[in-house]
């Protein structure tokens, strides 16, 4: 059976280019995921695909970056497929893992993709650092204090209420509550 895996990083991104290619290759079943490829754990559709495929099936992907962001994950996924005797075909890289050359190229491309991703993150950090030095990057906007902050803060400080109660009354998440608390006490 021909099985396809389509993934975009965010809900806003378009899957049409990938699905059209799958349809043109007569892929019978397509798993569609709209999430980051950080790791396999956060991708239920990929897990379903891996459970579904059987010996003799072929998994089609647009390119290796749709399947994994790290060489380790890419190799782990392809190993899982190989153990089930399932082939993997990437349209962009024109690689078929049923051949020794295809498996070698898969490893090399996975390493290059991981290297590119690491370099991109490094450049991003450098850009943010330079922008901060030039005063052009100020980060997130500060979270405003709720209207009744001072009243609830005083009740919490005098131990009339717990932090959990204060968070509920203020409708704040734990991290936001403690961030505001730190900012309040630093004044």
What's the whole-number average pLDDT of the chain? 87
Q: Give the pLDDT band of residue 112 (cuts 50, 70, 90).
A: confident
Q: Give the pLDDT band of residue 187 (cuts 50, 70, 90).
A: low
Q: Using CA atoms, how far apart are residues 8 and 20, in angstroms rounded to an integer?
A: 14
Residues paired with residue 59 on neighbouring β-strands, in sequence order: 3, 88
pLDDT at 185: 82
Answering whether pTM is above 0.85, one says no
98 is catalytic: no
pLDDT at 79: 82
pLDDT at 119: 86
Q: Where are the alpha helices (DSSP H) in the chain?
A: 16-24, 44-52, 64-67, 71-83, 100-133, 149-157, 163-170, 174-186
Whether pLDDT at 109 is above 80: no
For residue 5, the Cα-to-chain-centroid distance in whole angstroms is 15
pLDDT tens-digit series, residues 32-73: 998 776 667 778 999 999 999 999 999 999 988 888 877 778
Residues paired with residue 87 on neighbouring β-strands, in sequence order: 58
pLDDT at 38: 67
pLDDT at 39: 65
Q: Give the pLDDT band of residue 115 (cuts 50, 70, 90).
A: confident
């Amino acid at each position: 059976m021909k099985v396809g895996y389509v993934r975009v990083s965010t809900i806003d991104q378009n899957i049409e280019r990938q699905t059209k290619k799958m349809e043109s290759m007569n892929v019978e079943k397509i798993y569609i995921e709209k999430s980051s490829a950080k790791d396999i754990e956060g991708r239920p559709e990929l897990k379903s695909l891996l459970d579904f495929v059987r010996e003799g099936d072929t998994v089609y992907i647009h390119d290796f970056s749709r399947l994994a962001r790290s060489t380790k994950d890419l190799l782990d996924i392809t190993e899982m497929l190989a153990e089930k005797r399932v082939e993997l075909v990437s349209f962009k890289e024109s690689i078929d893992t049923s051949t020794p050359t295809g498996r070698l190229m898969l490893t090399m491309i996975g390493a290059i993709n991981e290297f590119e991703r690491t370099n991109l993150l490094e450049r991003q950090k450098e850009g943010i650092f330079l922008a901060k030095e030039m005063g052009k990057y100020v980060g997130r906007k500060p979270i405003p204090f709720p209207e009744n902050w001072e009243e609830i803060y005083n009740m919490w400080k005098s131990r009339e209420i717990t932090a959990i109660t204060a968070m509920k009354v203020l409708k704040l998440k734990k991290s936001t509550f403690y961030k505001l608390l730190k900012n309040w006490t630093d004044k």
